[in-house]
A and B are shown apart, each in its own frame.
Chain A
Amino acid sequence: MTTLAPLEERLTLVDLVDRVLNAGVVLTGDVTLSVADVDLVYVNLRVLLASAGTLDRLCADSESM
């Protein structure tokens, strides 16, 4: 990540990931080569935000999950 996004953008990013990874039609079956593991979403979000530089301390525990 090159620069630190403003707070507003980061919040939008949580909403975005909440939708893009937590909602939408899920395709399953043989035809799918791969599909995102949605159980990881909240772990990912913590990593995501921690990397933006605000929550490193708060997330220290969850990052080690």
Chain B
Amino acid sequence: MIDAAPGTGWYVYGFAADADSLEHAAADAGPIRLVRHDGLVAIVGEVPLDEFGEHELADHLNDPAWLEEKARRHENVLQAFAARTAVVPLRFGSIHGELDEVRRLLESRQSQLHGTIDRVRGRVEIGVKAWVDTARLADTLRGEEGASSSGTGREYLQRRRQEQRRLDEVRERCAELAAEAHGRLLSVAVEGVQNRPHPPELTGRPEMMLLNGAYLVPAADTALEAEVGRLAAEHGPFGVTYELTGPWPPHNFVDDRDGAA
């Protein structure tokens, strides 16, 4: 049994398929320990409990500089391993007292983990975000509808009602555009998820986030990128722009089926 030194715990970054090259990944990733069990590896690092203990962690999550540093560390470790083998990312902040507990985790999740690893092997996660300039979309819809302009009071009221209709139309069209984009991206991906779009106060952008999607694709495959290009061309006139992020380790494609507890 290997206990962490007093005041420290074992932070589990993720699980991976065992491979000879993992020692190199561990070297790249900084002070990392590999816990092995039956072809599986847990990627762990020793962390101080005055930062990662139950109460301390909650406090630190609200410290932006700390969170940024640790979130980047988490991602960098996973990427160092993802470059060499199939990895199953864990959610941030999973700490254990003993390495034997980590070994037992590997044992109890053995078949699920092998299944997940087989599913994500040779595949990467690509993020696709779509943004809409709602003013531009409204203009385009107005153009489709045909311009009407006149100056009488009745026509003014009519225009007001039209404006309201246009707002509803903009909302509907946004939902349609997002659904179309996600559907088409799914058709060229192995799997995909639509995550909650970031609210404007987070993005700080004038455009609204229409789609916050993540797609699992074969590592060297460019079909998703090509489809994003086509979507961008077709949806451009509606004020929609697309953004790709990644490749990421498959963060969005390892949960649920692994059955958290």
Interface residue ranges, A against B (CB under 8 Å): 1, 11-29, 31-38, 40, 42-52, 54-55, 58-59, 62
Contact = CB atoms under 8 A, between A and B. Distances in A.
Contacts of A49: 202, 204
A32 B95 contact: yes
Interface stretch (B165-173, B176-184, B232-240, B253-261): B253-261
Interface centre among A1, A11, A36 (most CB of B within 10 A): A36
B65 interface: yes
A20 B88 CA distance: 12
B72 A16 contact: yes
Interface in B38-58: 49, 52-54, 57-58
Contacts, number: 150
Interface of B: 9, 12, 14-15, 49, 52-54, 57-58, 61-62, 64-65, 67-68, 71-72, 74-75, 88-97, 101, 104-105, 127, 195, 198-199, 201-204, 212, 214, 245, 248, 251-252, 254-255, 258, 260-261
Contact of A31 (B58, B105, B252): B105
Given A20-B251, A26-B255, A46-B201, A31 B96 contact: yes
A61 to B, nearest CB: 9
A13 B71 CA distance: 9
Chain B: interface secondary structure? mixed
A38 B101 CA distance: 23
Contact of A37 (B61, B71, B199, B252): B61
A11 to B, nearest CB: 7
A33 B53 contact: yes
A43 to B, nearest CB: 8
A53 to B, nearest CB: 11
Contact of A58 (B52, B201, B254): B201
5 contacts: A13-B68, A16-B71, A23-B251, A36-B94, A43-B62
Contacts of B49: 33
A18 B104 CA distance: 29
A37 B57 CA distance: 9
A65 to B, nearest CB: 10
A48 B94 contact: no
A1 B261 CA distance: 36
Nearest to A51: B64
